[in-house]
Amino acid sequence: MTGTLVGASKCLLERRHQRALSDRPWRHQCAPRWETAHAALTIGFAAHIGCVAARGFLASDPALPILVTGLVFGYGSGTVTRIAFRPRVTGAAIGLATVPAIVAAAHRGDATSIAIATVFTVFLGEGFETIRDLYMNTRRQIILRHDMATLARNEPLTRLLNRLGLHEAFRSVVAEARGGAIALYCLDRDGFKPINV
């Protein structure tokens, strides 16, 4: 029941967040509040998964460890692929979902459970490595997009605005002029004017 409530709360939060994102203008001051709410519900749900997994490994029914293994692996892989750009939250979530299962499986003590605990530990370590890789790739992509946007607006050699940069600057000048006269002075310093026309 608790997991259902936390999961439903997370779904409602995501819907509200998407609705807030569609409102213009987006206020960056709201971002930490949304991030905290998402992190709290993600970690809460992960803790619930961890409790269910531990309980499943400690139960006497032999089918339950198989079910909770699928549950933990499914939750962990989904969490890593979806929110690895927030590595601390993702790491905490997969740790909370996996460590109780590892401890409970090891506590059972039989050879199969020890093997499962070992496999879970290896996959947890690889999960942390995957989080790091995905985070670094996402970071590189964001930096590359920023650099490409800068190159699209500025001439790298002179650091002056190029066509896109001038177009954006011209738009703001026109908006400020409010119907008044605007003077535009063009200087062709390098002889490329015939090529660019």
76 and 138 share one domain: yes
pLDDT in tens, 111-157: 888 998 999 999 999 999 999 999 999 999 999 888 887 776 777 77
57 and 130 share one domain: yes
- Give residue 192's domain range: 154-196
User: What is the DSSP track for 143-168?
Assistant: HHHHHHHHHHHB-TTT--B-HHHHHH
178 and 130 share one domain: no
109 and 177 share one domain: no
59 and 112 share one domain: yes
Mean pLDDT score of the chain: 81
18 and 80 share one domain: yes
18 and 77 share one domain: yes
Q: Are 87 and 138 in contact (CB under 8 A)?
A: no
The CA distances from residue 103 to 41, 74, 89, in Å, are 23, 19, 21
At 94, phi and psi to the nearest 5?
-70, -30
159 and 118 share one domain: no
88 and 62 share one domain: yes
pLDDT in tens, 43-63: 988 998 999 999 998 888 888
43 and 139 share one domain: yes
Domain count, the chain: 2
117 and 181 share one domain: no
**Portion of the chain with pLDDT greater than 70, in percent:** 76
The CA distances from residue 178 to 6, 59, 169, 174, in Å, are 52, 75, 15, 7
Q: Mean pLDDT, to the nearest integer, of 20-30?
A: 67
103 and 188 share one domain: no
Q: How far apart are CA 144 and CA 83, in angstroms?
A: 20
Place of tokens 């460590």: 99
